[in-house]
Amino acid sequence: MGDGGSLGDLVVAARDRAFVGRAAERAMFRSALAGDPHGSPVLYLHGPGGIGKSTLLRRFALEAREAGRLVVEIDGRTVPATPDDFEQAAGKAIGEPGSVLLVDAFEHCQGLEHWLWEHFLPRLPLGTVAVVAARSAPDPRWVADPGWADLMHVVPLRNLARGDAATFLRVRGVPNGAHHALLSFTGGNPLALSLAAAVVVRQDADGTARAADWAPGRDVIATLLPRLVGDPPSPAHRTALEVCAQADVTSEALLRAMMGERAPELFAWLRTQPFIESTAAGLFPHDVVREVLAADLRWRDPDGFAALRRRMYEYLLGRVREASAAQMLPAMQALVYLHRTLGHLAQAFEWHSYGLVRELPCTPADEKRVVELVHETEGPESAALARLWLDRQPEAFVVYRSTGTDDIVAFSAWLQLAEREGEDVDPVVAAAWAHVRTAEPLRAGERVAVARFHVDPQAYQRPSAAMNLVQWRVIGEIVRSDDLAWSFVVMRDDGFWDDYLERSDMLPTDAGPVVGDHGYRLFAHDWRTRPALAWMVEKNKALLAGAGIDVGAGTHVAVGTHAAAGPHAVAAAGAVAPPPSDGTPREGTDYVVLSRREFDTAVRDALRALWWPNELAANPLSRSRLVAAHGQSLHDVLLCAIDTVPAERGGEKRHRVVTTTYSKAAPTQEAVARRLGMSFSTYRRHLTAAVKRVSDVLWSHELSGEPMVPVGRDLSADQRDGRPPDGPGPVDGQ
């Protein structure tokens, strides 16, 4: 350092080298310095703590001094908030034309706002430039005041643009491998960038850095938290912030579901915070605020963090079920957002592409473009099939339009099919039907859905803005369905989505249909084996557990009356629990779906255990739709079926055989035959026919979904008499 220099000069030089971005704000200031008639002599900068207001004011001061202007700087944190003290701090700026007045941290002088606009600023000489920086925006009265309209420019200061933030990291010497992690955490917040960069550079110097998987440590979080959010007025306000940090967008309805009747007050407080942005859908925090609040809660109170995530997921899943058709996709986006950093889902979606496309129903005017998109990506044969399905199910198609150009850039189709529909014309749909018939046929009232097309020519079946919406629609349609037996997702057979779909329990089928020059793969799921709501909860728990978040065993989903409708819906879904000892499944447990062979075996086992409640409870029929959908016990259902035996020819003898065998609990079948006065072969013939009749009746009701109705029997009396007999247990044999 030469003569006449100082440490301050070195500090200024270092800050100058590290300064990046803010081109628009600097252009406004230079315009004011130059006296541009289109410029504004008063600039009002506002933004949350750490956004770079003080850094920008220092840059303004440097440029003003280089231009030969007198610079007067006021720090609201050190000046008493009185008119006299403020004027004294302003010094020569009041009387010297051409001076530059820079006021930082004006939020500490907020009581002077009226005086500032009405009495102080109007007294500044022409040619003076004034810049006021504060956390909060100015009172709307001054923005609307026609006197200030042409003299003041209000500038909300945002995070650094991604390119500027990356330049900042390079200037600070951060290894390239750490850039993505730091940019994702900070969102371009200058203070967070500075702290994180310092930590990574230090770790890189001492050899402890693992750049690619960098995460903020407690020192970074502890420094950022008070600077970014301050000290909330109460624990409830802190919780409201933590809710807002987890949610994609926070509405008052979400806050009410999470926090009760204080929601309006807390929502009003949130919207006034400088680090919270407002949209038509609600509120959201700046990225770094979101990350810091989440990291702090997870470290400070892991159980509270898990409980918050669980309750929010339950509420948002219920919203997907109950939302109108037009609101289903936003509801799915809010739900999926909770998983944006978890496991395989972190790579499955294009998380930074919100708002680039919008979904709309496919109108007749759109159909030509839809067919063209298929032709471009899958060839003329697929285009002809798309045309066929447009004619048959136009309501199944949606298009995705660019929000910038309004052009159709992608489309998808969710076909809903009755028995064998389309298998004669579409090889892909035919493969789906073949799988259904082989694995587990449809029952009355059930249907199949096929995600037949998802076409985005620019990123064909790869993560993109449009593919985000396609996937969210598929999941939403599944969650909202009450009669869906099978769903199929059709993908180009190149393996890209195999792992993701298999982790989602969409298992590959053996079929490999070919259309034109392209082979396709079908991924299938039978929703009767595990209803969609229970499946969603299970996947949420698995993702959280994989991220080291223990949500506990109490997860359930309360989704209102809508969710209780339909044969596959559940009113509450969660950890699978065994049914009570009386054989009646609990509300909300999953239906077991059996093949006919498995069903017949379960019927025989249940008849042998008719008067042993614990064994009935373990029988898979107690969890079947036949029993669980109608609030009956397996014991009662079996008695109803037995009472249908006399209705067939020769049924009276068979009825006596089956009731004596399974209701009176003789120790052996030979003893039952002797009691009935029959040869053992005749007895066995009647018993086999009776059991077949019972199984046929029960299977018919399982397929149709109709409840078993008692036939001339006082069930309550039977139940009173239905005490297990003294004896060795169920009859052996048939």
Give, in degrees to the nearest 5, the angle at Cα 588 between 587 and 593. 110
How distant, in Å, are the alpha carbons of 591, 679, 692, 717, 726 from that of 666? 33, 16, 21, 21, 10
The model's pTM: 0.62
DSSP letters of 493-541? SSSTTHHHHHHTT-EEPS---EETTEEEEEEEEETTSS-HHHHHHHHHH
In whole angstroms, what separates CA 248 from the centre of its chain?
Answer: 8
Q: Cβ–Cβ contacts within 10 Å for residue 443, how many?
A: 17
Q: What is the pLDDT of residues 612-662, one digit of tens each?
A: 887 888 888 888 888 888 878 888 899 999 888 888 777 888 888 888 888
Q: What is the pLDDT of residues 65-96, one digit of tens each?
A: 999 999 999 999 888 889 999 999 988 888 88
Mean pLDDT of the chain: 81
SS (H, E, C) 670-704: HHHHHHHCCCHHHHHHHHHHHHHHHHHHHHHHHHH
- Cβ–Cβ < 8 Å for 71, 61: yes
Check residue 345 and give its pLDDT.
61
Q: Which residue has the tokens 């939020």?
A: 107
- Cβ–Cβ < 8 Å for 51, 190: yes
Check residue 400 and give its pLDDT.
93
Upper half-sphere CA count for residue 663 (Cβ side, 13 Å): 16
Q: Cβ–Cβ contacts within 10 Å for residue 600, how many?
A: 18
How distant, in Å, are the alpha carbons of 577, 695, 734 from that of 624? 15, 14, 22
Q: Which residue has the tokens 């065993």?
A: 553
Q: What is the pLDDT of residues 433-476, one digit of tens each?
A: 999 888 877 877 788 999 999 888 888 878 888 888 988 899 99
Burial 162-196 (b: 16+ CB within 10 A, else e): eebbbebbeebebbeebbebbbebbbbbbbbbbbb
- Cβ–Cβ < 8 Å for 492, 518: yes
Q: Extract the runs of DSSP E, i.e. beta strands, from 163-243.
A: none
Give, in degrees to the nearest 5, the angle at Cα 685 between 681 and 690. 145
What angle do helix axes 634-642 and 651-663 make, rounded to 10 degrees?
150
Mean pLDDT of 518-540: 84
Percent of the chain with pLDDT over 70: 85
pLDDT band for position 347 (50/70/90)?
A: low
pLDDT band for position 568 (50/70/90)?
A: very low
How distant, in Å, are the alpha carbons of 59, 484, 488 from that of 442? 71, 10, 14
In the chain, the amino acid numbered 139 is: D
pLDDT band for position 481 (50/70/90)?
A: confident
What angle do helix axes 596-608 and 680-704 make, rounded to 10 degrees?
120
pLDDT band for position 427 (50/70/90)?
A: very high
How distant, in Å, are the alpha carbons of 139, 180, 349, 404, 707 from that of 162? 31, 10, 20, 20, 61
Mean pLDDT of 589-606: 78
pLDDT band for position 42 (50/70/90)?
A: very high
| Integer Cα distance of 55 and 11 in angstroms | 13
Whether 226 shows a pLDDT value over 60: the answer reads yes
Query: Residue ranges of the alpha helices (H) in 19-118?
Result: 23-33, 53-66, 83-90, 113-115
Mean pLDDT of 493-506: 77
pLDDT band for position 533 (50/70/90)?
A: confident
CA dihedral 418, 423, 426, 432 (to 10 degrees): 80
| Integer Cα distance of 461 and 271 in angstroms | 39
Q: Which residue has the tokens 């509450």?
A: 572
Altogether, the residues listed in the chain come to a count of: 734
